[in-house]
Structure 1
Amino acid sequence: MNRSSSPHPHPHPHPHRHPQPQPPGLPSLKGVVFASVVGSVLVLAAAVLFALLPGSLSEAADFRAARPCSEVAAAEKGDCLAEWPATVVSTETGRSNKAVTNWVTLDGGAAEPPFRVRMQGDGPVWEKLAPGDRVTVLSWRDVVWAVEAGELRQDTTARPGRESTVQLAVGLTLLVVGTVFLRGAGWLHRRRATRATDTPTAQVVVVMAATLLASGVAATAATVTDTVWLVLLIAAAGCATVWTATALLLRGLARRRTA
C-alpha cells in the first residue's frame, strides 16, 4: 500500500510569536503597581499617626485643664502651670531641615542650671532678647512651653498640644493623597482593561489641583480648632465639595471633547 505523499512531509514549527507591542498612550502595568504601592504606604502611614493621636490629644487636654501652681494644693504642683524667673545667657539661630531655628539659653539661678529652649518663630520675644535680660519661664510637667518678657509672651516648640495638631494635619493629608493614588491605580487598571489610550492633560491637571485643595482644607481644619470631631467634619465636607466639583468639571470637559 502506497503512502499518500504530502507536499510538506515535515511540517515546519510555528515561528516564535512575539507579544503585540503596547499601544502608545496605554497605561503600563508598572504605573498601576506604583500608584497602588504609594497609595497603600500613604494610607498606612496615616493610620499609624491616627493610632498615636489619642495619647497626644490626652496630653493636650491635660495641659488646657491645668491651673497655675499658685491656685492649687501642694500635692498637685507637679501637674500645674509653673512660673519662675530666669536670665538670658545667649540667643542663636540655627537650621533644621532647611528651616531657620531660634534658640535661647537661659539661666534659672541656683535652683536650675542653664538650659536651652527652641522658640516658635522669631517674635515677639526672641527678637528682642539680649544677654542679661530677665524673663519669666512658663513650664508644665518640667517642659518649658513659653517665655515672657514684660507683657510679651512667646511659645516654645515644646508647647503641649502642638504635636497632636501636627499629627492630625499630616495624617489627614496623607489619607487624602493616599486615597487619590489608590483611586488612580483603579482608574489606570480600568483603562488598561478597555485599552483606552486617550488621557487628556486637562483631566490630570484637574485631579492634581483637586488633591492639593482637598489636602489643604483638611490640614487647615486641623490647625484652626482643637476639637477632633469638628476637624473631621470640616475635612469631610471640604473633600466632598472639592471632589463633587471635580467630577462635574471632568464630566463637562468630556462632553466638550465628544461634541
Structure 2
Amino acid sequence: MNLPSPEEKRRFSRRAVVTLLIAAAVVVIVVVAFVRALPDGDRELRAYQAAQPCPSAPDAPAECRWTQEFTISDIYLTKARNADNSAVLTDADGTEWETTYSSRGPVLNQLDEGDRVTATLWRGRVIEIAAHGRSQNTNDAPVDLRESRFALALAVVPPGLLVMAACVWRLVRRDLPAPTRGMAATLGLAGALFPVGIFARLMVGDRSDSPWAVVALWAVLAALAAVTAYICATYTKKTPDAEAGRTD
C-alpha cells in the first residue's frame, strides 16, 4: 500500500475539517431552531383554537373567528413541487381574497369557478375553506412550529452527525491513501437518512400523532438503511482461489 505524501495528508485534513465544520454548523442551527420553538411554538395555533365566533362581521383583523360564504372566481391546481395551488375567493361585495394551499385536496380539487365555499377568517386571513362536507386549511393557517422543526431536525441531525463522525474518522486515519469502506458506508448512510427523514414526514402527513408516527416510520427505514450500509462495508467477494481452497 502506497502511503500518501505529506501534501496529500494536508489536503485530506483540510477537506475533512471543512466538511466537519459545515456539518456541525448545520446541526447546531437546526437544533437551536427546534429548541427555540419548544416553549411557545404552538402559541398561534392555540390562540386560533381558542378563538370564539365573532358576533358580527369584523371591519378589521380580529381575534375572533368569522365564517362567511364566498364564490370561487379563479382556481389554479398544480402538481409542481415548488408551486402552490391557489384560489381567488370573492365575497358578496366583490372583494377578492387570494388564497394558497400546499396540496390539491381534499376540497380544492373538488371545486371549479363559480362554486360556493364557506371560509373561516381570523386575524384578517382566510384560514380554511369548507365545501361538500370537507374542510381544507390554507397556507395562512396557524401551525405547530414544534412539529415542523422536529421533522426538519429528524431529517438533518442524524445525517449531520454521521458526516461529522466520518470526517473525524478520516482525520484519525489520514495516513491511508483513500477512505476505507467503513468511511464510505458511513457517508452513504448519512446521504440516505436525509431523504428518509423527508419521506417519513410526507408519508405520515398532518395526523395529530404525526411526531410519533414520523419517528416510528423513520426508525424502520433508518434501520434498513443501516443494515444495507453495514453489508456494503463488510461484504467481501470470494475470490476463485478461496473457492478452490474451500473445495480442496
Q: Structure 2: where are the runs of 5+ without partners?
A: 55-61, 243-248
Q: How does 1:87-126 map to 2 (within 5 A)?
A: 87-92=71-76, 99-110=82-93, 113-126=95-108
Supply the distance in 1 between the matched residues of 2:150 and 2:133 (Cα, whole angstroms). Answer: 32
164-173 vs 212-221, which deviates more?
A: 212-221
Supply the distance in 2 between the matched residues of 1:232 and 1:124 (Cα, whole angstroms). Answer: 22
Instruction: Give the letter for the 1:56 counterpart.
Output: G
The answer to whether the Cα contact below 8 Å between 1:123 and 1:154 also exists between their aligned partners in 2 is: yes
Seen in structure 2, the aligned counterparts of structure 1 residues 49 and 200 have a Cα distance that, compared at 3 Å, is: same
Q: 1:38 aligns with which of 14, 22, 45?
A: 22
165-174 vs 179-188, which deviates more?
A: 165-174
Structure 2 counterpart SS, 1:139: strand
Seen in structure 2, the aligned counterparts of structure 1 residues 240 and 61 have a Cα distance that, compared at 3 Å, is: farther
Q: CA deviation at 1:116?
A: 0.5
TM-score under structure 2 length normalisation: 0.68
RMSD: 4.2
Seen in structure 2, the aligned counterparts of structure 1 residues 145 and 232 have a Cα distance that, compared at 3 Å, is: same
Q: How does 1:240-251 map to 2 (within 5 A)?
A: 241=223, 245=227, 248-249=230-231
Seen in structure 2, the aligned counterparts of structure 1 residues 255 and 60 have a Cα distance that, compared at 3 Å, is: farther
Q: Which residue in the other structure is 2:177 paired with?
A: 197
Q: CA deviation at 1:22?
A: 4.1
TM-score under structure 1 length normalisation: 0.65
Q: Which residue in the other structure is 2:114 paired with?
A: 132
Q: CA deviation at 1:28?
A: 1.0
Supply the distance in 2 between the matched residues of 1:104 and 1:81 (Cα, whole angstroms). Answer: 21
Seen in structure 2, the aligned counterparts of structure 1 residues 229 and 164 have a Cα distance that, compared at 3 Å, is: closer
Q: Which residue in the other structure is 2:42 paired with?
A: 57
Q: Which residue in the other structure is 1:207 paired with?
A: 186
Instruction: Give the letter for the 1:83 counterpart.
Output: T
Structure 1 counterpart SS, 2:88: strand
Supply the distance in 2 between the matched residues of 1:148 and 1:104 (Cα, whole angstroms). Answer: 13
Q: Is residue 29 from structure 1 mapped to residue 13 from structure 2 by the alignment?
A: yes
The answer to whether the Cα contact below 8 Å between 2:65 and 2:121 also exists between their aligned partners in 1 is: yes
Aligned residues: 227
Q: CA deviation at 1:243?
A: 8.2
Supply the distance in 2 between the matched residues of 1:253 and 1:152 (Cα, whole angstroms). Answer: 53
Supply the distance in 2 between the matched residues of 1:234 and 1:89 (Cα, whole angstroms). Answer: 43
**Structure ID, larger Rg:** 1
Q: Structure 1: where are the runs of 5+ without partners?
A: 1-19, 71-77
Structure 1 counterpart SS, 2:114: coil
Seen in structure 2, the aligned counterparts of structure 1 residues 250 and 102 have a Cα distance that, compared at 3 Å, is: closer
Supply the distance in 2 between the matched residues of 1:79 and 1:236 (Cα, whole angstroms). Answer: 38
Seen in structure 2, the aligned counterparts of structure 1 residues 167 and 202 have a Cα distance that, compared at 3 Å, is: same
Supply the distance in 1 between the matched residues of 2:42 and 2:79 (Cα, whole angstroms). Answer: 29
Supply the distance in 2 between the matched residues of 1:217 and 1:80 (Cα, whole angstroms). Answer: 40
